[in-house]
A and B are shown apart, each in its own frame.
Chain A
Amino acid sequence: MGKSLFQKVWDSHTVGTLADGRTQLFIGTHLIHEVTSPQAFGMLRDLGLQVKYPQRTFATVDHIVPTINQDAPQDPLAAEMMQALRKNCDDFGVTYFDLSSGKQGIVHVVGPEQGITQPGTTIACGDSHTATHGAFGAIAFGIGTTQVRDVLATQTMALEPLKVRRIEVNGQLHPGVYAKDVILHIIRLLGAKGGIGYAYEYAGDLFDRMSMEERMTVCNMSIEGGARCGYVNPDAKTVAYLSGRPYVDMDNFEATAARWLSFASDADAHYDDIVRIDAAGIEPTVTWGISPDHGVAISENIPDPANAVTEIEKQSIEEALAYMKIPAGTPIKGVKIDVAFLGSCTNGRFSDFQEAAKYLKGRKVAAGVHAIAVPGSQIVAIQCEKAGLDQIFRDAGFEWRAAGCSMCLAMNPDKLVGDQLCASSSNRNFKGRQGSSTGRTVLMSPVMVVAAAIEGCLADARQVFGLVP
């Protein structure tokens, strides 16, 4: 029997078995940012340790950077975190894509952009959306700060092996249905806990046709489905995307590409579970509640606790609806929004802004809606600006901001106020996620964010933009 990509990468990176039975896994690439690394460097100093492979460690600043005047945070705590990262990178010899580098951005946008993210490697980052890098056929783990210390000090960490679930999606998506809808649909089907103990392999002809950006959107939200990581097997698109990027060794590229491709799952690979989904059955999907698996198609109604099957389900729907302040059993379409946020590591890449701008062009954000567009990196910002997209956003009434995580988690000044409801292209709709303890988040694709911004309420982009379903 053949091996899955997960198994191949795991086996080739195994250092040994630890006394507690866990595997000591070599981490090929370590990405760090300002929020989860300072304490880890503190622990390293306390133990008198160095960074084992500083050349395999890359830093950027993303969570706390202001998106207006990036380098001048008004918040002294944010400034302290930025200084701490600078000092830690200098002291330990780590490459730092800082604000003046022209390469700064959300760590999960920067890694692929620089060609640091490569197939057949292991990647770790003190950030749960590290799964994004799986789009390249890497096994990428989000880790805690003590593990960040372990990886800094030893370039390894202790891990339990995972099971592998192949999620096969075949068929054509209807117009107006995007990668974001695919992953929201998968999470809705399998649940927010459905992936616990698993790595997700996304396969089938839909993923074969997807661009690298789309694959990143899907892999990004593996964690919202409970999976520890998610990946797409590397193919010619993966190789083409990486060719010529700064951290890709172009001497001997053919051999490198062949090695990358050799990690793809064998045709007779063993899977612990297989799920099959028809792409044509996926509609534009939005969340209605406070967990990423609270999803509905835009044409559907908000769930009614009266129809719940179990008492637990009933309570969970009631809790979510009470928080969201939306009525049970009524259409999700038409729910009024206050804020539209386009950005994040899920949907903050050039192609996201390009697709959104295509429909936004010549239209206006509804009165009373505060709309912001936040590129995922400085490079994305420049690409968009060169293509004139920033002007399309500005003309429509969006604020065009500088790169960072921004309102995805609101550690910078971009926050919801009170119980504002935000149409958001980000990945989490937890209570309080966007900076106000009563703020409300509805997750959706970038084009659906634009449709909601224009209409002032949750809207079906296919109707707003005349796409035939």
Chain B
Amino acid sequence: MALEQIKQVSGRGVFVPGADIDTDRIIPARFMKCVTFDGLGEYAFYDVRFDPQGNPTTHPLNDPRFAGAGILIAGSNFGCGSSREHAPQSLKKYGFNAVIAESFAEIFNGNCTTLAMPCVVASVADVSALRAAVEADPQMQITINLETLRISTSAGHDIAVTMPESARDALTAGRWDPIQELLDNNDRIEERARALGYVSH
């Protein structure tokens, strides 16, 4: 399985405010009643994009200036809460290709990597600079370079970011979906199972 090597991601950005944005907020549980991930995109951030009567709120994702943004910018501990992959899936299906945040919850981060959606961590100051810049100019182009771990923008920013080396390697080397490599080690898996004793075959 040859997978795409993801060395950089470019697009326009949108800032979603708030710390500790949990996966219930990204995709409310009632939209998880599905047996495929298709169609989840339209429910991303549903309960903050629409009021209880179903009217659109002033959430940035409803702001036409940010329509088509491919890079989500967020605060700290983004994606905390449940392990539901429905959350990154809904962001991906909504059209996001990367997330920049002050920090990420781990399960969410891992889930994103497996979907080829890089999560990079920028400092609090840099996130707020990016926020101010996209709000001033929603057309600003943002490029996340995973080889140099830097973000550049059409407005001239040059920002250092971090991400787990394993995630960076997996994305840039085109092995973000580990299934083939896991399968290739079948003999060693069976050997481990036998050694463990409690796994009868």
Contacts and interface: CB of A to CB of B under 8 A. Distances in A.
B196 A26 contact: yes
Given A78-B33, A146-B114, A193-B80, A28 B198 contact: yes
Interface string A414-440: 000010000000001011110111100
A233 interface: no
Contacts of A128: 81-83, 107
Interface stretch (B19-27, B65-73, B130-138): B19-27
A49 B179 CA distance: 11
Interface string B5-41: 0000000000000111010110011101111110000
Interface stretch (B93-101, B141-149, B152-160, B162-170): B162-170
Contacts of B166: 20-22, 160
A291 B19 CA distance: 10
Contacts of A435: 29-30
A383 interface: no
A149 interface: yes
A144 B181 CA distance: 18
A196 B106 contact: yes
Interface stretch (A9-17, A265-273, A332-340): A9-17
Contact of B85 (A13, A144, A154): A144
A437 B28 contact: yes
A26 B47 contact: no
Nearest to B18: A319
B105 interface: yes
A47 B192 CA distance: 24
Most buried by B among A118, A142, A146, A196: A146
B22 to A, nearest CB: 5
A411 B30 contact: yes
A53 B201 contact: yes
Q: How large is the interface on B (under 10, 10 to 19, 20 to 34, 35 or more residues)?
A: 35 or more
B186 A154 contact: yes
Interface in A276-322: 291, 312, 316, 319
Interface residues of A, number: 75
Contact of A38 (B35, B84, B178): B35
Interface in A48-102: 49, 52-53, 55-56, 64, 75, 77-78, 80-81, 84
A118 B36 contact: no
Interface of A: 12-16, 18-22, 24, 26, 28, 35-36, 38-39, 42, 47, 49, 52-53, 55-56, 64, 75, 77-78, 80-81, 84, 118, 121, 126-128, 142-147, 149-150, 153-158, 160, 192-193, 196-197, 226, 228, 259, 291, 312, 316, 319, 409-411, 418, 428, 430-433, 435-438
23 contacts: A13-B196, A14-B192, A16-B185, A18-B181, A26-B199, A39-B36, A42-B36, A49-B183, A53-B201, A128-B82, A143-B107, A144-B83, A144-B88, A144-B107, A145-B84, A145-B111, A146-B114, A147-B110, A156-B189, A192-B80, A259-B197, A432-B28, A437-B28
Question: Top 6 closest A-B pairs, CB basis?
Answer: A144-B85, A144-B111, A437-B47, A77-B33, A38-B35, A145-B85
